Amino acid sequence: RLNAIENGEETDSSQNTQNGAPEARALTQQIETKIDSLRGNLAREVEQVQMAAPPVQQRLPPPATSAPGKREQRVASLERTGFEAMLARDYETALDAFTKAREIWPGYHNVAEIQRLLAVRRDDPPQTEQDWLSLFEMALIKFSWGMP
């Protein structure tokens, strides 16, 4: 009979017990009693677990090492270092500063474009005063937005 219930053949236990034998009614009553007991025990155990468990703490995001203000300060400092290096005719330092600035914030002023301008000339960096003046002119004409 339990197999029939599990297989979905008998779904209305009240109807079956009214028409069935007294042992079926007794069996149904025992099952219902056990289910009620299990529900009560389960409710108590859930309550105990909830009381014993530490409260769930909200996970906080890691400290903002790249908060907007700090990010802007870092990229602005690198940009300034890059421009100062260019004025000092220190090509490698300028390229390094603009490369780092581009990694942090490619859209900041024209750091990405100036980095590309310098990177293109990596194999043939400016040597003469005229080379440097041409580089400055290109930077001023094409990429002067945000230039200090």
Q: Is the pLDDT of residue 70 over 80?
A: yes
101: number of Cβ within 10 Å = 25
What are the structural domain ranges in the chain? 2-52, 68-142
How remote is the C-alpha of 103 from its chain's centroid?
19
pTM: 0.53
What does the CA dihedral 118, 121, 123, 129 come to, rounded to 10 degrees? Answer: -100
What is the distance between the alpha carbons of residues 148 and 54, in angstroms, rounded to a whole number? 54
The per-residue pLDDT for range 81-109, each reduced to its tens digit, is: 999 999 999 999 999 999 999 999 999 98
Which residues, other chains included, contact 3 with Cβ-Cβ below 8 Å and sequence gap of 6+?
A: none
CB-facing half-sphere around the CA of 3: CA atoms within 13 A = 0
What is the token pair recorded at 31? Answer: 């099952």
For the chain, the straight-line distance linking the first and the last C-alpha, in angstroms and rounded, comes to 89
What is the distance between the alpha carbons of residues 145 and 82, in angstroms, rounded to a whole number? 15
Please report, for residues 8, 30, 57, the alpha-carbon distance to residue 52 in angstroms, rounded to integers and kept in the order given: 40, 33, 15
The per-residue pLDDT for range 25-61, each reduced to its tens digit, is: 877 788 778 777 777 777 777 777 777 776 655 555 5
Looking at residue 98, its pLDDT comes to 96
86: number of Cβ within 10 Å = 22
Q: Is the pLDDT of residue 118 over 70?
A: yes
Looking at residue 115, its pLDDT comes to 96
What is the distance between the alpha carbons of residues 140 and 147, in angstroms, rounded to a whole number? 8
Q: Are 108 and 101 in contact (CB under 8 A)?
A: yes
